[in-house]
Amino acid sequence: MDKLTITASKPLTGEVVISGAKNAALPILMAGVLAQTDFIVSNVPNLRDVNTSCELLRCLGADVEQLENSRVRISTTNLNEYCAPYDLVKTMRASILILGPLLARYGTADVSLPGGCAIGARPVNLHLHGLELMGAKIEVKEGYIKARVDGRLKGAHIFMDMVSVGATENLLMAASLAEGTTVIENAAREPEVTDLANCLIAMGAKISGVGTATLTIEGVERLSGCEYRVMPDRIETGSFLVAAAVTRGKIRCVSADPSALEAVLLKLEDAGATITTGEDWIELDMHGKRPKAVNIKTAPYPAFPTDMQAQFCVLNALAEGTGRVTETIFENRFMHVPEMSRMGANIELEGNTCIIHGIERLNGAQVMATDLRASASLVIAGLMADGITTVDRIYHLDRGYEHIEAKFQGLGAEVIRVK
Ligand X SMILES: CC(=O)N[C@H]1[C@@H](OP(=O)(O)OP(=O)(O)OC[C@H]2O[C@@H](n3ccc(=O)[nH]c3=O)[C@H](O)[C@@H]2O)O[C@H](CO)[C@@H](O)[C@@H]1O
Ligand Y SMILES: C=C(OP(=O)(O)O)C(=O)O
Choose the one of ligand Y, ligand X, none that binds residue 329, judging by a C-beta under 5 to 8 angstroms depending on kind. Answer: ligand X
Calpha distance 167→173 (Å, rounded): 10
Choose the one of ligand X, ligand Y, none that binds residue 39, judging by a C-beta under 5 to 8 angstroms depending on kind. Answer: none
Catalytic status, residue 59: no
Selected catalytic residue, list 54, 117, 199, 253: 117
CB-nearer residue toward ligand Y: 110 or 169: 169
Task: Please name the amino acid found at residue 298.
Answer: T
372 binds ligand Y (CB under 6 A): yes
Kindly report each contact of residues 68-73 with a partner whose C-beta sits within 8 Å and lies 24 or more positions away, as own/partner: 69/42, 70/19, 70/20, 70/42, 70/43, 70/44, 70/45, 70/46, 71/40, 71/41, 71/42, 71/44, 72/29, 72/40, 72/41, 72/44, 73/38, 73/39, 73/40
23 binds ligand Y (CB under 6 A): yes
Binding positions for ligand Y, 271-330, rule CB under 6 A: 307
What's the chain's Rg over C-alpha atoms? 21
Using the contact rule CB under 6 A, the part of the chain among 76-84, 175-183, 238-246, 369-377 near ligand Y is 369-377
At CA 118, angle to CA 115 and CA 119, rounded to 5? 95
Quickly count: other Cβ atoms within 10 Å of residue 229's Cβ. Answer: 18
Please check whether residue 255 is in contact with residue 17, taking contact to mean a CB–CB distance below 8 angstroms: yes
75 binds ligand Y (CB under 6 A): no
Out of 229, 373, 389, 411, the only residue in the binding site for ligand Y (CB under 6 A) is: 373
Q: Closest approach of Cβ 305 to ligand Y, in Å? A: 9
Q: Closest approach of Cβ 116 to ligand X, in Å? A: 9
Q: Which CA distances in Å does 172 have to 26, 113, 164?
A: 14, 20, 12
CB-nearer residue toward ligand Y: 248 or 399: 399
188 binds ligand Y (CB under 6 A): no
Choose the one of ligand Y, ligand X, none that binds residue 123, judging by a C-beta under 5 to 8 angstroms depending on kind. Answer: ligand X
DSSP 307: G
Contacts with ligand X, residue ranges (CB under 6 A)? 23, 120-127, 162-167, 188, 190, 300, 305-307, 329-330
The residues that touch ligand Y, with contacts defined as CB under 6 A, are 23, 93-94, 307, 371-373, 400
Give catalytic residue positions: 117
